A and B are shown apart, each in its own frame.
Chain A
Amino acid sequence: GQSLEQPSEVTAVEGAIVQINCTYQTSGFYGLSWYQQHDGGAPTFLSYNGLDGLEETGRFSSFLSRSDSYGYLLLQELQMKDSASYFCAVRGYGGATNKLIFGTGTLLAVQP
């Protein structure tokens, strides 16, 4: 099966940098994605790592290391509006693993 573990909660202050980790146990998969979900809202796509290494999109960066079964989302220059839940996700190669599976989620609280 596939499982993705994340810390349940992270707290940080405005302007700081925070890293949200995702460790996974899964067979082959295409890559690691990250989604953001504000309270009461729908999840929205943030980033995708198909290859190992760092992908940067503005204040957000995401990293993947397949050899370590590990990835993370890095948020810089935190703003109050970044307070939300963040989920990592994978989609496997075909067959029973082809569905998009989400991690346990991390609730980020940004404090002034």
Chain B
Amino acid sequence: GAGVSQSPSNKVTEKGKDVELRCDPISGHTALYWYRQSLGQGLEFLIYFQGNSAPDKSGLPSDRFSAERTGGSVSTLTIQRTQQEDSAVYLCASGYAVGGQTEAFFGQGTRLTVV
């Protein structure tokens, strides 16, 4: 079956513009994560959706960042008034996250460049 799909794969935007990044998780996965990865760095947690529970937004770096997950499936990460420090690869992952299940399946990411 299809894996996690993210679009666009690359996005170049001007400072101050808003961007939307899309994630299509694997069908049936209840958990969906967004991470940010700067060049040569680790995976910075942004937000976590699990089923119908309220999302864990504790990793969002500022109020310019928001995310939603519609119908328990597709998710959109929105960055308003982009800044150059927002440039990074944004990775989405999905999984079951039930009990000890910790395997997350990652998309190929969206490389965001703010100029």
Contacts and interface: CB of A to CB of B under 8 A. Distances in A.
A96 B58 contact: yes
Given A42-B106, A45-B104, A105-B43, A100 B97 contact: yes
B56 A33 contact: no
Contacts of A31: 100, 102
Contacts of B42: 87, 102-105
A63 interface: no
Interface residues of B, number: 27
B93 to A, nearest CB: 8
Interface string B23-46: 000000001010100001111010
Interface in A94-109: 96, 98-105, 107
B85 interface: no
Given A99-B45, A99-B48, A100-B97, A42 B91 contact: yes
Interface string A53-96: 00000000000000000000000000000000001011100001
Q: Tell me the interface secondary structure of chain B in the complex.
A: loop
B103 interface: yes
Interface string A17-48: 00000000000001101010000011111001
A98 B109 CA distance: 23
Nearest to B91: A42
Contact of B43 (A30, A43, A48): A43
A90 B100 CA distance: 10
Interface of A: 30-31, 33, 35, 41-45, 48, 50, 87, 89-91, 96, 98-105, 107
Interface of B: 31, 33, 35, 40-43, 45, 48, 50, 56, 58-59, 91, 93, 95, 97, 99-100, 102-109
7 contacts: A31-B102, A42-B109, A48-B100, A87-B42, A98-B97, A100-B102, A104-B42
